[in-house]
Structure 1
Amino acid sequence: MRHSAPHSAAGSEGASDGRWARLAYTQLFRLLLPIMLLRLWWRGRVQPAYRSRWRERFGFISLPTAFRGDSVLWVHAVSVGETQAAEALIRALLAQDAALAIVITTTTPTGAAQVRKLFAADLAAEGRPGRLFHSYAPFDMPGSIKRFIGECRPRALLVMETEVWPNWLAVCQSRAIPAYLINARLSERSARGYRRIQRLAEPAFRAFTHICAQAGADADRLLALGARTEALSVTGSIKFDQSISLDDETLRQLVANEVAAERFTWIAASTHEGEEQLVIDVHARLLQQHPGALLILVPRHPDRFDRVDGLLARSSLSHVRRTQIPDQAGLVRTADVLLVDSMGELLYFYERSDLAFVGGSLVNNGGHNPLEPAALGKAVVMGDSQFNFADICSQLSGAGALLTVDRLSLEATVSSFAQTPGLAREAGEKGRAFVVANRGAIGRVCERILPGLRPPPATITES
């Protein structure tokens, strides 16, 4: 245990309740495992990568020789957004310790692809040395996690944002492996969900060696769920420090050739079911006043590309899919809509747009990251479902860089920016300045976690 003081009867009873809750959770996890595997196989119809590397999800990994010993750090990032946010932190940690090697896990194939894209030169592969190694994250079952940890023997675990797995944390705690929650955010809706399983959630949050929260509201919710006061800091969002690199000049030129600078161009990014039809209808009416306008439509999930293509085919608008170019270069210049059915290219389309609508916000999904378009100097529009980035959206709104709309006012807002392009440029510059002024979270996070990144003791006890 971390503290030597004796437990009170109530404390012992609470710990016992927590163990029973975790045992029940583990049994339920095992019962649901066939359904989870079937879901992976089903999703593999559209993304074949879901059907590969299943052994890794059970903790079977084969690390290169360089990843042996006590110099390994485990960083977990769920998918694309968390991986992007982790990039600057990972590079800072590698720079701090020349002997450090990092095993980075993701849950989704799109996250794996993002790792390959961001860290191509650093990834270890067969016959090639490197300081990074990717694996899919092990299932939260004691056998899987013990197998994974036994292979990589990490000196610490860094979990990005709020991915809390009770068995991961219990096994790390039993082996004296420090666990850190980085860039933690917790909406009120997520907090309500955790409160329903308080006996399971509280020991998990208490097990973190330190939690670096994005904002004060996140910290308050984490404390209410059991996080220890002395192990919690508000460090800001490391997404302000996220690298916005547009270093693929071939792709950059392709987008520039297709999206004419003289056209008013707005992008609807990371959209969900229920949003695409709305923005298609808005754009159809916008074209009556601004015939040259272009909509760049970027669905959030690849398995919905064909469905959105069908919506466009049934509309009055002409459209081109990103995968049709450059085979048929120049098509976008005469199209009303460009459907981006590719991954990892969003920043390049943000750069070429005048106005960015960030999706997941006109449906009750909490919205996606508005900092990327803001950092690129783009005016940002979102619906009022912003709980995933509530603090950041509030600050961007206060800086005059983000406008909140509803389904009725979206059309008028886009039309206003199309009518007066200078307004979009002004709001975009305010957003860019806001992002620059709020950088520095990486340094604050490193101050909290670097003292604990030391090799774990040799003596261990099983959970």
Structure 2
Amino acid sequence: MIVVYNAVLCIYHLGIRIYAVFNDKASRWVKGRKGLLKQIASEVKQNENIVWVHCASLGEFEQGRPIFEKLKEQDASLKVLITFFSPSGYEVRKNYSGAEYVYYLPPDSRRSAAKFLDIVNPKMAIFVKYEYWHHYLSALSFRSIPSYLVSARFHKKQLFFKAYGGFFRKTLKNHSKIFVQNDKSIELLKSIGIESGVYAGDTRFDRVMESKIKRTEVEGISVFKGENKLLVAGSTWLDDERRIIPYINECNDQVKIIIAPHEIDKGHIRKIQSMLKVKNILYSEIGDVDIQGAKVLIIDNIGLLSAIYQYGDIAYVGGAFKGALHNILEPATFGMPIVIGPEFEKFHEAIELIELGGAFAISDADTFKKRMSFFFSEPFVIKIASEICKTYIKQNAGATEIIIRNLAC
């Protein structure tokens, strides 16, 4: 099976190099790994007290952040080295001040894993939610370096639980402990002979609560909003924008809208603007135009959305028209009723908030219009949903403390 695994990785790397000719994100993925091990070797100091944290992308970084920030708070000598698989995470957090080192993850091969660990020599490794890299996990286990998977969530359809999944089960068993979000994951791990599972919960709840406490002002947003109600449409894709923009083009003058698309390339931004029939401006232009006179503000940079939610009255969170719902906990912590698309069954927080009455699913442009009209005609619904969301966040916090207590520091 290891031959097949290595072959699939080789094909993937070849494919992404070809795709990089046509795609900027793929190009950054490739360029970011050129001479990477040499760069790491030249920058990482020997004999440092390093914790290695690996995140697939930006969402996983935010999920792991409460853990390594707490570790550093407890031990001032600790150095944090973060690796990312995706440019979406690396490009936003490459200058993150809470870590001494931030890199892309070198390709998962036996040679790269050994070289990386020779250089970094971490006291422990933390993998956030996903990312089961066989060679890295095997090398960590061989060197008796503790490795932990945090905020994990398992389901029956994963390869670990298939009859032919022995290779992947072996990879998973290399973890010293696996911190999971629910009891079902514990049961599934036990069904394949893994007794190292620990129920901790989801660190995202801790992160969003901390973000709320430490929130900063976002230039221009208060001026844009004025005395109006504000709908914040975050992490939207074209499928989402096609459903919400008809309402935006028709809604009354007392409602303003911020659209923060997931992809901010110029082509996508132009597409959004072409669908809008009301005055709109880009965030990058706020110093040059009349921001108060615009109805729609389009966020054309990365990293502001979580702070922008503090200004909103209602949130629309994108991704659920393609089964890839983005983070609804960020707006929930600010007490915003949340509207999402119809494909949310893989996201337990969406299911729970819908059942509680803090989130609402729509199926098309018409149901979105009706939902928004109902919100603004019955303000008590917004107030009730707001309290439900804030309570939900508070009741589910605490995973970070459980994980910290169980790490072999």
TM-score by length of 1: 0.80
Alignment CA distance shift 1:56-1:183 (3 Å): farther
- Corresponding residue to 1:272 among 237, 248, 254: 237
- The answer to whether residue 403 in structure 2 is matched with residue 403 in structure 1 is no
Partner of 1:38: 18
CA distances 1:333-389 after superposition (whole Å, capped 9, x unpaired): 333322111110002321111101111112222x11211101112111222322453
Query: Superposed, which structure 2 residues align to 1:17-32 within 5 Å?
Result: 21-32=1-12
What amino acid does structure 1 have at the position aligned with 2:319? G
- The answer to whether residue 140 in structure 2 is matched with residue 172 in structure 1 is yes
Query: Superposed, which structure 2 residues align to 1:266-415 within 5 Å?
Result: 266-285=231-250, 287=251, 290-303=252-265, 306-328=267-289, 330-331=290-291, 333-365=292-324, 367-390=325-348, 392-407=349-364, 408-415=366-373
Q: Which structure would you say has the larger Rg?
A: 1
Q: Give yes or no for contact 1:205–1:227 (8 Å, CA) kept in 2.
A: no
**Distance of 1:246 and 1:24 partners within structure 2:** 48
Alignment CA distance shift 1:258-1:336 (3 Å): closer
- The answer to whether residue 252 in structure 2 is matched with residue 252 in structure 1 is no
**Distance of 1:273 and 1:168 partners within structure 2:** 37
Alignment CA distance shift 1:193-1:256 (3 Å): farther
Q: Give yes or no for contact 1:269–1:356 (8 Å, CA) kept in 2.
A: yes
What is the deviation of 1:247?
Answer: 5.8
What is the deviation of 1:233?
Answer: 1.3
Partner of 1:62: 41
Partner of 2:32: 53
What amino acid does structure 1 have at the position aligned with 2:220? L
Alignment CA distance shift 1:223-1:338 (3 Å): farther
Partner of 1:205: 172
Partner of 1:86: 64
What is the deviation of 1:440?
Answer: 1.0
**Distance of 2:327 and 2:298 partners within structure 1:** 20
Alignment CA distance shift 1:421-1:116 (3 Å): farther
Q: Give yes or no for contact 2:137–2:174 (8 Å, CA) kept in 1.
A: yes
Q: Give yes or no for contact 1:183–1:213 (8 Å, CA) kept in 2.
A: yes
What is the deviation of 1:74?
Answer: 0.7
**Distance of 1:308 and 1:239 partners within structure 2:** 29
Partner of 1:183: 151
User: For 2:47, what is the secondary structure of its paired residue?
Assistant: coil
- Corresponding residue to 2:400 among 434, 439, 442: 442
- The answer to whether residue 383 in structure 2 is matched with residue 425 in structure 1 is yes
Higher RCO structure, 1 or 2 (CA under 8 Å, sep 6+): 1
Alignment CA distance shift 1:172-1:99 (3 Å): same
Q: Give yes or no for contact 1:246–1:348 (8 Å, CA) kept in 2.
A: no
Q: Give yes or no for contact 1:57–1:139 (8 Å, CA) kept in 2.
A: no
Q: Matched residues, percent identical?
A: 20
What is the deviation of 1:427?
Answer: 1.3
What is the deviation of 1:400?
Answer: 2.8
**Distance of 1:41 and 1:245 partners within structure 2:** 40
**Distance of 1:142 and 1:266 partners within structure 2:** 49
How many correspondences in the alignment? Answer: 406
Q: Give yes or no for contact 1:298–1:340 (8 Å, CA) kept in 2.
A: yes
Alignment CA distance shift 1:447-1:173 (3 Å): same
What is the deviation of 1:52?
Answer: 3.9
Partner of 1:76: 54
Runs of 5+ unmatched residues, structure 1:
1-20, 124-131, 454-463
**Distance of 1:52 and 1:385 partners within structure 2:** 35
Q: Give yes or no for contact 1:312–1:319 (8 Å, CA) kept in 2.
A: yes
- Corresponding residue to 1:109 among 82, 87, 91: 87
Partner of 1:214: 181
**Distance of 2:225 and 2:275 partners within structure 1:** 23
**Distance of 2:184 and 2:342 partners within structure 1:** 18
**Distance of 1:160 and 1:227 partners within structure 2:** 22
Runs of 5+ unmatched residues, structure 2:
none
CA distances 1:22-41 after superposition (whole Å, capped 9, x unpaired): 22211332244222233345
RMSD: 2.7
User: For 1:98, what is the secondary structure of its paired residue?
Assistant: coil
Alignment CA distance shift 1:52-1:193 (3 Å): same
Partner of 1:138: 106
What amino acid does structure 2 have at the position aligned with 1:110? S
TM-score by length of 2: 0.90
Q: Give yes or no for contact 2:334–2:390 (8 Å, CA) kept in 1.
A: yes
**Distance of 2:164 and 2:336 partners within structure 1:** 41
